[in-house]
């Protein structure tokens, strides 16, 4: 849920940033085609940019206060998997229930809006089927008594019965509506209204929808009326006037304020700093990427408690599998979910791995749902030297909580069983001192379980690591506190390196 909220927040921010520039530098300028595609791009960018994740900066522990402050906004907005999860131990189940209720209401409203959009489209198609069609100047006309006519939808121009298209004013209206069809304006509107229906809570989408409709009218007016002939424009308006209300998914002649259309028609085509207005969008997009798609990697200390870093003499290819994902949440407790914690640990191992001369590849880098076979395929694809699958236990509550409950390493019998056991023992030996700092007298164990598909069918030595019991607050703190997590991940990597040295 935290990830969804973060995505929606970023999406609104990106659309707000780009819409803001449109309002300041592009609106009411005769850059109609550019403005049209800019607004459509804003819709696309507001969804795509928050899904991108770049990690271009590494911040060591000794980074100055000024530098840390400089990147603090980026970290807060983009490192959700780290900082958001570090506070989840304090969140209550009641808060989650409220968020789920709000999400259900939001989805319900989106569904209603989508149904209304479908009904409107179906209504227009129904009108088309019930009325005669004719071809005029290469345009398909549907002659109807509907009061909203003339209007266009997809490839059809709905013409009001009784209006003539043979006189001068009729030809102007015909040319205006034919422009909507030629320019495929209906598709713009449908795309925009789908976005607005699904993400109805984004206020900038509603502004984009309104402005896009205006730009469509500017384009059609310019094509219909030669030069700036305001008299012809006024005659065209009077001829087509019906005074009724119109269907908003069609390009209706009276769908926008007349005064603004008239002013735009009279504006000079010579625009000051036209090239600059077009080009300035590039640094704005770059800023959006920096703020909403770029994260920072904090390189942890060398952990003196467990000795200096042991670098592998030859680079080790390690595939790390974050268990569960997608619709498979794994176990959960309050605001904690196994799939998110597994992914956080996997990413941190990948961040720290270069210090150990280990190259890490993740089976999933986001909230994807993968089959067991697909996870093994990732290991085969990278010709992995080793494979580690991360999980969290949900142990039954006994009479007395055991300190080592929920932590252990599992292997499965296959051709690599000896190498797998060797890696398991090395990882266990190096992680126990770290765990003893959190839960003293931890023991842990290595066990064999034949049901672990990702280990049994893997061509590389593989282990499954149970990182702790999700109900054990101290063990979960080891995963949600960055400094403690760094020590645990470093210990796992040291165990992998030690396996190849011994």
pLDDT (tens digit per residue) in 292-306 = 665 544 444 443 344
Greater pLDDT, 399 or 42: 42
pLDDT greater than 70 at residue 480: yes
Token pair of 310, please?
A: 């042991």
CA distance 123 to 121: 5
Residue among 465, 476, 479, 484 at smallest CA distance from 334: 476
CA angle in degrees (0–180, nearest 5) for 118-119-122: 85
The overall average pLDDT reported for the chain is 79
pLDDT greater than 70 at residue 66: no
What pLDDT sits at residue 422? Answer: 93
Return the minimum-mean-pLDDT range out of 50-59, 248-257, 352-361.
Answer: 248-257
pLDDT band at 402 (very low <50, low <70, confident <90, very high): very low
Residue among 499, 423, 421, 416 at smallest CA distance from 457: 416
pLDDT band at 196 (very low <50, low <70, confident <90, very high): very high
Residue among 286, 45, 250 at smallest CA distance from 128: 250
Report the 3 state secondary structure along 14-41: HHHHHHHHHHHHHCCCCCHHHHHHHHHH
Please measure the distance between the N-terminal and C-terminal CA atoms of the chain and give it in whole angstroms: 44
CA distance 407 to 432: 10
What pLDDT sits at residue 401? Answer: 41
What pLDDT sits at residue 230? Answer: 62
Cis peptide before 243 (omega within 30 of 0): no
Full-prediction pTM beyond 0.75? no
* DSSP structural state of residue 81: I
> What is the average per-residue pLDDT within 413-433?
90
pLDDT greater than 50 at residue 243: no
What pLDDT sits at residue 80? Answer: 44
What pLDDT sits at residue 302? Answer: 41
pLDDT greater than 70 at residue 440: no
Do 466 and 408 touch, CB atoms closer than 8 A? yes
pLDDT greater than 70 at residue 94: no
pLDDT tens digits, 96-137: 567 778 888 989 999 999 999 999 999 899 998 889 888 887
Token pair of 363, please?
A: 């089976």
CA distance 142 to 175: 15
Return the minimum-mean-pLDDT range out of 181-185, 239-243, 316-320.
Answer: 239-243
Strands, sheet with 151-153, edge to edge from the N-terminal-most edge strand: 133-136, 139-144, 156-160, 151-153, 251-252
* Residue 39: burial class (beta carbons within 10 Å; 0-12, 13-18, 19+): buried
Do 247 and 151 touch, CB atoms closer than 8 A? yes
Tokens 């991108």 belong to 52
Pick left, alpha or beta for residue 271 (phi over 0 → left; psi -120 to 50 → alpha; otherwise beta). Answer: beta
pLDDT tens digits, 301-343: 443 344 467 788 899 999 999 999 998 989 988 888 999 999 9
pLDDT greater than 60 at residue 46: yes
Do 363 and 322 touch, CB atoms closer than 8 A? yes
Helix (H) or strand (E) holding 13: helix 2-21
Return the minimum-mean-pLDDT range out of 380-384, 440-444, 497-501.
Answer: 440-444
Alpha helices in 131-202 (DSSP H): 168-182, 185-198
Do 89 and 478 touch, CB atoms closer than 8 A? no
Q: With respect to CATH, is domain 302-501 assigned 3.40.630.40?
A: yes
What pLDDT sits at residue 73? Answer: 43
pLDDT band at 90 (very low <50, low <70, confident <90, very high): very low
Tell me the range of 56-60, 118-122, 176-180 where mean pLDDT is highest: 118-122
> What is the average per-residue pLDDT within 264-285?
73
Domain ranges across the chain: 1-91+271-299, 133-267, 302-501
CA distance 176 to 106: 38
What pLDDT sits at residue 160? Answer: 81
Residue among 233, 138, 228, 243 at smallest CA distance from 176: 233
> What is the average per-residue pLDDT within 225-235?
64
Return the minimum-mean-pLDDT range out of 186-190, 237-241, 344-348.
Answer: 237-241
């Amino acid at each position: 849920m935290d990830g969804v909220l973060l995505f929606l927040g970023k999406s609104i921010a990106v659309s707000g940033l780009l819409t803001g520039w449109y309002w300041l530098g592009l609106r009411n300028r005769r850059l109609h085609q550019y403005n049209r595609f800019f607004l459509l791009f804003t819709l696309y960018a507001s969804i795509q940019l928050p899904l991108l994740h770049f990690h271009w900066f590494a911040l060591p522990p000794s980074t100055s206060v000024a530098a840390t402050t400089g990147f603090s906004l980026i970290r807060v907005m983009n490192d959700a998997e780290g900082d958001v999860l570090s506070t989840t131990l304090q969140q209550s189940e009641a808060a989650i229930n409220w968020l789920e209720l709000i999400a259900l209401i939001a989805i319900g409203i989106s569904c209603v809006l989508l149904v209304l959009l479908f009904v409107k489209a179906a209504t227009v198609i129904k009108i088309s089927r019930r009325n005669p069609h004719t071809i005029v100047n290469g345009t398909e006309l549907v002659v109807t008594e509907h009061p909203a006519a003339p209007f266009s939808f997809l490839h059809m121009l709905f013409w009001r019965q009784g209006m003539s298209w043979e006189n001068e004013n009729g030809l102007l209206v015909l040319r205006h509506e034919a422009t909507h069809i030629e320019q495929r304006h209906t598709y713009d509107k449908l795309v925009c209204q789908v976005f607005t229906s699904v993400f109805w809570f984004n206020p900038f989408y509603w502004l984009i929808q309104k402005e896009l409709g205006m730009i469509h009218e500017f384009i059609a007016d310019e094509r219909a009326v030669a030069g700036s002939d305001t008299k012809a424009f006024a005659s065209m308006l009077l001829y087509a006037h019906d005074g009724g209300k119109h269907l908003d998914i069609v390009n209706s002649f009276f769908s926008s304020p007349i005064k603004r259309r008239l002013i735009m028609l009279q504006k000079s085509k010579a625009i000051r700093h036209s090239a600059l207005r077009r080009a300035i969008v590039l640094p704005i997009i770059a800023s959006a990427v920096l703020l909403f798609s770029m994260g920072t990697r904090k390189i942890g200390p060398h952990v003196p408690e467990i000795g200096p870093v042991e670098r592998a003499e030859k680079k080790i290819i390690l595939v790390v599998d974050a268990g569960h994902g997608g619709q498979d949440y794994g176990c959960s407790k309050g605001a904690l979910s196994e799939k998110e914690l597994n992914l956080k640990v996997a990413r941190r191992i990948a961040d720290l791995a270069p210090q150990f001369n280990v190259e890490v590849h993740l089976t999933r880098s986001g909230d994807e749902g993968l089959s067991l076979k697909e996870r093994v395929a990732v290991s085969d694809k990278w010709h992995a030297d080793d494979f580690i699958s991360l999980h969290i236990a949900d142990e039954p509550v006994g009479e007395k909580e055991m300190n080592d409950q929920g932590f252990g390493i599992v292997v499965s019998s296959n051709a690599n069983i000896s190498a797998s056991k060797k890696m398991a023992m090395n990882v266990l030996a190096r992680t126990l001192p770290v765990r003893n700092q959190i839960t003293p007298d931890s023991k842990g164990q290595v066990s064999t379980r034949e049901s672990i598909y990702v280990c049994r069918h893997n061509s590389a030595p593989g282990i499954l690591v149970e990182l702790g019991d999700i109900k054990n607050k101290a063990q979960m703190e080891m995963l949600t506190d960055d400094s403690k997590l760094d020590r645990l991940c470093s210990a796992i990597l040291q165990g992998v390196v030690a396996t190849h040295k011994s």
